[in-house]
Amino acid sequence: MSDEEALLSRLRNQLATGRFRIRIHAARHMTEEGFFQKDILEALLGKSKILERYPEESRCLIVGYFHFSEKVTCPLHVVCDYSNPKLLDIVTAYIPEEPWWSTPTKRGLTK
């Protein structure tokens, strides 16, 4: 098992057992963009992958998908802070958009 697979497995276990919290920045995006906690969980627990790791901060950016409707899926980016081994922090979550993201997995503009 690779380091990324091991990390994803650990994060998914924390999510599945309710050992996580949604931080205010993620909650704000949920309200502004129209998705819910269940959508974050679906994206992270489903077919997801780590796009970027920030080991010095014990954080990573994960891309996953949730069902916007029965037939439509939507990409979701989620930044997780795993510095606390007992509790996963979902720092932010957002729907990737142009110009910052040209696809759900490829960066567009940089600041």
Q: What pLDDT is stored for residue 51 in this prediction?
A: 96
Question: Domain 3-107 is of which CATH architecture?
Answer: 2-Layer Sandwich (3.30)
pTM of the complete model beyond 0.85: yes
- Please give the pLDDT value at position 109: 75
Q: Give the model's pLDDT for residue 32.
A: 96
Low-confidence ranges of the chain (pLDDT < 70): 110-111
pLDDT at 111: 56
Domain ranges of the chain: 3-107
Give the pLDDT of residue 1. Answer: 76
- Helix (H) / strand (E) element for 38: namely helix 37-45
Burial status of residue 94 (CB atoms within 10 A of its CB: 0-12, 13-18, 19 or more): buried
What integer pLDDT is reported at residue 69 of this predicted model?
87
Q: What's residue 47's pLDDT? A: 93
